[in-house]
Structures are given as C-alpha cells and as structure tokens.
Amino acid sequence: MRILVLQGPNLDLLGTREPDIYGTATLDDIHASIRRRAAELDLDVDFLQSNHEGVLIDRLHRMDFEAAIVNAAGLTHTSVSLRDALVGVERPFVEVHLSDPSTREPFRQVNFLADVAAASFVGMGPRGYLLALEELARLRDEGAAE
Ligand code: DQA
C-alpha cells in the first residue's frame, strides 16, 4: 500500500518555528520516524511538503497512492480547493495536526477537512503521524479480510 504524506505551508520550518507549540523535531526528523514505522507496517511512503496550495493539489491529482496522511497546516482552515481535491481523488486520508487547533485561536476552529477525513489525530505532536500510519494499516488489513 502506497501512502502519500502531504505537508502544508510552513511545516518546512518545524524545529525552529514556534517550538513551544510545535516542538523541536524537524520535518526531516518526523519523516525519518514515519519511514521507520512504515517499513515495520509494510507500507510504502512518499512525502511532499509545499508552501503552495496548487502544488499540493497537483500532487494529489497524480493519484499514484492508495491513501494519504495530510497535515494541511493553515490551509486546513481556509481551503475549499484542497478539500475538493481530497474528496475528488477518492482515496482515504487521515488528518494530522501537531497541535490541537480546536483549543487555539477562533479562526483555527474552522476546519474544511475533518468531516471528510477517515480519522484525525491532533495535539499529539509527531506521534500523530505514526498513529495515522497505524490507522491506514488497520484499514488495509480490514479490507484484505473482506
Ligand atoms: C498545524 C495547525 C495549523 O492551525 C497551523 O496553521 C499549522 C500547523 C499543526 O500541525 O498543528 O501550520 O497544522
């Protein structure tokens, strides 16, 4: 099973960006731990971080993956287009946020993705990505049993 890990705007700054909120792990650290856990779960992973909405949408349109893990960052709270792309490609995705946006500023309470996500892991830091992988492996194994 091929998993696309999609990382939205400003996540390239992890490690130095607001460490009190997002922690000190860099995106490379997070991707390395995703890669390790994915190997254990027999999942293939591909990564894209972009600061550009259209680049993220174009990557989804390639449809060369069976499921996705998405931290859309600020686009979570603004992007109908990214939501439409995620629905349009008809692949399950798990939403991840390092912080818990629902406990932060009011504008972060708007979420265009949560109701179309297969699951959401928020406020758990980088561990949320590993839980997302485990959820997708569970869905794969459930599907295989059908
Ligand atoms: C975030 C939460 C978003 O509200 C914010 O815009 C981000 C990061 C998180 O992982 O906690 O950029 O998605």
Please report, for the chain, the start and end positions of each structural domain, with discontinuous segments joined by +.
Answer: 2-145
Percent residues over pLDDT 70 in the chain? 99
- Atom index in ligand 1 nearest the CA of residue 11 equals 12
What average pLDDT does this structure show over 21-38?
A: 98
User: According to the model, what pLDDT value does residue 145 have?
Assistant: 60
Hey, what CATH topology would domain 2-145 get?
A: Rossmann fold (3.40.50)
User: According to the model, what pLDDT value does residue 126 have?
Assistant: 98
Instruction: Look up the pTM and report it.
Output: 0.97
- Atom index in ligand 1 nearest the CA of residue 100 equals 11
**Strand pairing report for 93-97 and 44-49:** unpaired
Residue 91 contacts residue 121 (beta carbons within 8 Å) = no
Residue 143 — very low, low, confident or very high, per pLDDT cuts 50/70/90? Answer: confident
Q: How far is the CA of 109 from the centre of ligand 1 (A)?
A: 11
Pocket of ligand 1 contains residue 10 by CB under 6 Å: yes
Strand order in the sheet with 44-49: 44-49, 2-7, 67-71, 93-97, 119-122
Q: Let me know if 60 is exposed, middle or buried by CB neighbors in 10 A (0-12, 13-18, 19+).
A: buried
Check pLDDT > 60 for residue 146: no
Pocket of ligand 1 contains residue 17 by CB under 6 Å: no
State how far the Cα of 26 lies from the Cα of 35, in Å rounded to an integer. Answer: 14
Pocket of ligand 1 contains residue 79 by CB under 6 Å: no
